[in-house]
Amino acid sequence: MSSHGLSASEIARKVRAREFSVTEIVIDSLERIGSLDGTLNAMITIERDRALERAAKLDSALASGEGPGPMTGVPVIVKDNMCTRGIPTTCASRILSDWKPPYNAAVVEDLEKAGAVILGKSNMDEFAMGSSTEHSAYGPCRNPWDTTRVPGGSSGGSAAAVAAGYVPIALGSDTGGSIRQPASLCGIYGLKPTYGLISRYGLIAFASSLDQIGPFARTVEDLALSLNVLARPDRKDSTCSSSERPDYLDFLKVGSLSGKKVGIVREFRDYDLHEDISRGVEKVLRILQNAGAVIEEVSLPVTMTSGLGAYYIIAPAEASSNLARYDGVRYGLSEEAEDLLSLYLKTRKAGFGTEVKRRILTGTYVLSSGYYDAYYLTAQKVRQIITREFTEAFSRVHTLIMPTSPSPAFRIGELVDDPIHMYMMDVFTLPVNLAGLPGLSVNGGYTSEGLPVGVQMVGPRWGEGEILSMAGVLERELGPARIAPGGLADEN
């Protein structure tokens, strides 16, 4: 019997009941990766030996009667921008291709403490900049529903890994949609928590005020389990909330949504949405309504007209500063050079890809003296207005429903030379980062070509519980996320 396709919660239960050993689970996962990843390229590093060694340790601990953790035996994959001690952490960039961190990210510590087994590091857009996982020094990742298409990005590797059944849970990071958009394109759940819910310590920064780590999973229960493990105060991250977190599994006990108000955003009508995506949104609204929720229209005028512009000023500005440390002096790529300036120029020229360079240039420009007020300061003001618009909306409704992405998975290479069109992929997700709110992408069905369609659920600050409750109600109707064939013809 194979453990393939089990959820994390099921694995943890079966390991606890000794139906499976951790080693069996890990071998099943590694086999799945081995058979698919040649095609999908979802992984940058696979830590086979390390994972088996750890599985054996966990097995002997269980045998000696040690109490299991909430994730004992669960194989997980971590996006390659989260530091893992002694394991390469590349950000899919040449500039960090040889870098092994001397320390673990807070989330890595938490996963291991909970008993999870990290199998490796997933592919991504370089430094998390992109919406397709094509901008990777390790080659593009492919969508497990259609391998000629992108899995979305920037956490495309983690999304593809969960969708293709490598593992039940993978971690991504979301700065403007980098968890929700690939979750949508891969037909699974992807949750970006409230800014400050999960420690960013050890997450290699793209845009510090927007970055947030979150889980991909195929069941709502696994999302809640992940938050229980990852969401905690952390003194090493001053932007991480010091408040106690609830037990997120408690929110899944809700059966009825009576008394709940769900908002739909009026301005979405102005967008040229893919027909199947509109249909997905309608379907989700109908289910919520049937469960007792009341639908109300809300308006986010500034958010929908100016969010994208503000985001593409603030995110590159912070990135230009965050990525300045890769100078060839201390770690990572260092090109031979005659003097200091040419060391900087040669290293950064060889080390960064086109998209990263584009954003560093943009960011440097908008922070330059003489332009700061017109760009950065204005963008910050817009950000405040957006936050206010959301606050106003959430004074009237409990959650908002909107599309995750304007289109389903596009073809590899289709948008790679059209950055503005590519940036538009995040138009519905990035305002949520600007306002620091939680957002979840759930599957809302499939297109006629069989491509998943995502629907986004947004909550107020610290409203993860509210979102999980509603997602739980949806899941009861729609079932858990399906496992994708991953390029294997005999499945599905």
Partner 1 sequence: MKTEFFPVIGLEIHVQLNTLSKLFCPCSTAYIGTVPNTNICPVCLGLPGTLPVLNGKVVEYSVITALALNCRINRATRFHRKNYFYPDLPKAYQISQYDLPVGEDGYIYIRGEGGDMKRIGIIRLHLEEDAGKLVHSAADGRLAGASASYVDYNRAGVPLAEIVSAPDLSSPSEAKEYVSLLRQLVRYLGVSDGDMEKGSMRVDANISVKCSDGRWGDRSEIKNMNSLRALERALSFEIKRQTAILEEGGTVLQETRHWNDSEGRTISSRSKEEAHDYRYFPEPDLPPLFLPEGFVEEMEQTLPEMPWVRKSRFIRDYSLSETDVAVITESPDLADLFERCVREGASSERSANWIRTEVLRVVNERKTSVGDLPLSSHVLAQLLSMIDSGKLSNTAAKEVFDCIIETGAGVEEALKVCNLQSGGISGSQLVEIIRDILEKNSSVVETIRSGEDGNGKKSKFLQGLVMRETRGQADPEEVRMLLQELIES
Catalytic residues: 79, 154, 178
Per-residue contact string for residues 98-117; x = within reach of partner 1 by CB under 8 A: -x-xxx-x------------
Smallest distance from partner 1 to CB 81, Å: 8
239 binds partner 1 (CB under 8 A): yes
Smallest distance from partner 1 to CB 115, Å: 23
CA distances from 93 to 203, 332, 385 (A): 15, 10, 35
Give the separation between CA 100 and CA 97, rounded to whole angstroms. Answer: 9
3-state class percentages of the chain: helix first, strand second, coil last, to nearest 5? 45, 15, 45
Which position among 39, 97, 209, 299 is part of the footprint of partner 1 (CB under 8 A)? 209
**Binders in 367-396 for partner 1, by CB under 8 A:** 367-369, 372, 376
**Binders in 254-273 for partner 1, by CB under 8 A:** none
**Binders in 324-343 for partner 1, by CB under 8 A:** 324-325, 327, 329-331, 340
Give the separation between CA 181 and CA 408, rounded to whole angstroms. Answer: 9
Cβ–Cβ under 8 Å, residues 149 and 415: no
Specify the pairing of strand 43-46 against strand 169-174: unpaired
Tally the residues of the chain: 492
**Binders in 392-431 for partner 1, by CB under 8 A:** none
Q: Which stretch binds partner 1 (CB under 8 A): 10-18, 151-159, 213-221, 229-237?
A: 229-237
Per-residue contact string for residues 160-199; x = within reach of partner 1 by CB under 8 A: ----------------------------------------
Give the separation between CA 10 and CA 3, rounded to whole angstroms. Answer: 9
150 contact partners, CB below 8 Å, separation of at least 6: 132, 133, 134, 140, 141, 142, 143, 156, 185, 409, 410, 411, 412, 414
Nearer to partner 1, 3 or 89 (CB): 89
Smallest distance from partner 1 to CB 434, Å: 13
Quickly count: other Cβ atoms within 10 Å of residue 99's Cβ: 17
Cβ–Cβ under 8 Å, residues 334 and 328: yes
Q: Which stretch binds partner 1 (CB under 8 A): 41-49, 59-67, 149-157, 312-320?
A: 312-320
Smallest distance from partner 1 to CB 201, Å: 6
Residues that bind partner 1 (CB under 8 A): 81-83, 89, 91, 96, 99, 101-103, 105, 200-205, 207-209, 235-239, 317-318, 320-321, 324-325, 327, 329-331, 340, 344, 364, 367-369, 372, 376
